[in-house]
């Protein structure tokens, strides 16, 4: 029966089931693919029914495999909570914190984690950077402790904690004709070729909402899958774009970019920490929430100061951090 399975076998199965790949599971577990195959076969023999099936190069979970995956996650979550509770009872903050963040959040979350790890040097942090669609899937699969995103999910029952301002600004090349203009009407922006993030992006959703509410339609020249690509395309004169001010921190090509003074901008948004409402947070996740609550104002002043002068933004302000 399953009670005879080892924790190692369950970890191997969970990695294969989550990645649907023996190769990626082996890389993640720092072992070899034959070892993964052996461990999975041993677990399959214990269960007595196939857990996965391989068709060509694709791996699929069987019905039994899907049920076992749920059991594995419950076991690992329970062990993680117990480990951190035990550490907390000893007066030592230790354990593993698993975070998944939207791509734009990668510009500031590592700095937050640096401060957090300095305060609690005994912890181990896992950070996944995903696009919005993949991160929401991770949330649905309950793979992480906490999630950082800028656009709250509409069809998921989650707890949301705003912790940091996320202003959206209009970016153009430094030599753009509108670079020194003041109080630019949004309608004027729609006359320019526009660079947009991929469908489903939080930045795109906020941008489309802003112009749609004003009965305006953008002239989308191209879609790009990353903030870096957007900024390079803007600097190259391919068009203008709306980006999070956080993406301009430590910007090396700042002299090539300018924040336009557009009426209604910056769009004032926030970054949110999210987790499922029925999720039992680990001790370490609760400590991280408290840390953000305490430090959010200082963090905001430190990382947004100098990027933008809100609300009295000067036209043609160079995009420097």
CATH value at residue 12: 1.10.10.10
Domain boundary residue, one of 20, 41, 70: 70
Q: Looking at the structure, do residues 161 and 274 belong to the same domain, yes or no?
A: yes
| Measured CA angle at 257 (ends 254, 261), to 5 deg | 125
Task: Mark whether 257 and 113 lie in a shared domain.
Answer: no
Whether 275 and 259 share a structural domain: no
Q: Residue 83 and residue 245: Cα distance in Å, rounded?
A: 38
Please name the helix (run of DSSP H) or strand (run of DSSP E) that holds residue 111, with its range, or none: helix 109-119
Q: Is residue 85 part of a domain?
A: no
Boundaries of domain holding 177:
168-269+313-318
Q: What is the CATH number of the domain that holds 213?
A: 3.40.190.10
- 270 backbone dihedrals φ, ψ, rounded to 5°: -135, 155
Choose among 320, 218, 201, 321: nearest CA to 262.
Answer: 218
The answer to whether residues 256 and 274 belong to one domain is no
E strand segments, 79-238: 95-102, 123-130, 146-149, 158-165, 168-173, 193-197, 219-224
Sheet holding 317-318, edge to edge: 241-244, 168-173, 257-260, 317-318
Please tell me whether residues 192 and 173 are part of one structural domain. yes
- Inform me whether the pLDDT recorded for 168 exceeds 80: yes
User: Looking at the structure, do residues 145 and 128 belong to the same domain, yes or no?
Assistant: yes
Q: 321 falls in which pLDDT band (50, 70, 90)?
A: very low
If asked whether residues 265 and 276 sit together in one domain, one would say no
Q: In whole angstroms, give the CA distance from residue 20 to residue 180.
A: 52
Structure tokens at 201: 């992006």
287 or 10, which is more confident?
10
Q: Are residues 258 and 200 in the same domain?
A: yes
Report whether pLDDT(247) > 90.
Answer: no
Dump pLDDT digits (tens) for 66-121.
Answer: 999 999 988 888 887 777 677 666 655 667 888 999 888 887 888 888 888 888 88
User: Could you tell me which residue, 307 or 90, shows the higher pLDDT?
Assistant: 90
My answer on whether 277 and 144 are in the same domain is yes
Indicate whether 80 belongs to any domain.
Answer: no
Residue 83 within a domain: no
Q: In terms of domains, do 115 and 150 share one?
A: yes
- Element at 37 (helix H, strand E): helix 33-47
Name the pLDDT band for 233 (thresholds 50, 70, 90).
Answer: very high
Residue 144 in domain: yes
**Looking at the 3D structure of the chain, how many domains does it have?**
3
């Amino acid at each position: 029966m399953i009670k005879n399975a080892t924790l190692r076998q369950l970890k191997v199965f969970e990695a294969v089931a989550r990645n649907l790949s023996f190769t990626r599971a082996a890389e993640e577990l720092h072992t070899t693919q034959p070892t993964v195959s052996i461990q999975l076969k041993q677990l399959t023999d214990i269960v007595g029914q196939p857990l996965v099936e391989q068709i060509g190069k694709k791996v699929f979970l069987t019905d039994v495999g899907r049920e076992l995956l749920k059991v594995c996650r419950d076991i690992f979550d329970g062990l993680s909570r117990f480990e951190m509770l035990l550490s907390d009872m000893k007066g030592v903050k230790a354990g593993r914190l698993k975070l998944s963040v939207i791509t734009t959040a990668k510009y500031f979350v590592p700095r937050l984690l640096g401060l957090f790890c300095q305060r609690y040097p005994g912890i181990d942090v896992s950070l996944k950077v995903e696009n919005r669609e993949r991160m929401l899937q991770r949330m649905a699969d309950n793979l992480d402790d906490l999630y950082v995103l800028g656009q709250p999910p509409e069809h998921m029952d989650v707890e949301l904690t705003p912790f940091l301002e996320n202003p959206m600004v209009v970016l153009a090349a430094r030599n753009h004709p509108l670079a020194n203009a003041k109080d630019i009407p949004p309608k004027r922006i729609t006359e320019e070729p526009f660079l947009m993030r991929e469908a489903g992006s939080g930045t795109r959703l906020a941008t489309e909402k802003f112009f749609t509410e004003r009965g305006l339609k953008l002239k989308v020249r191209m879609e790009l899958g990353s903030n870096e690509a957007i900024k390079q395309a803007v600097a190259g004169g391919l068009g203008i774009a709306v980006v999070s001010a956080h993406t301009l921190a430590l910007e090396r090509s700042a002299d090539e970019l300018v924040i336009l003074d557009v009426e209604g901008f910056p769009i004032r948004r926030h970054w949110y920490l999210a987790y499922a409402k029925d999720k039992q947070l680990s001790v370490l996740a609760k400590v991280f929430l408290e840390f953000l609550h305490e430090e959010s104002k200082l963090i905001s002043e430190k990382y947004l100061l100098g990027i933008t002068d809100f609300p009295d933004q000067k036209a043609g302000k160079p995009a420097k951090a």
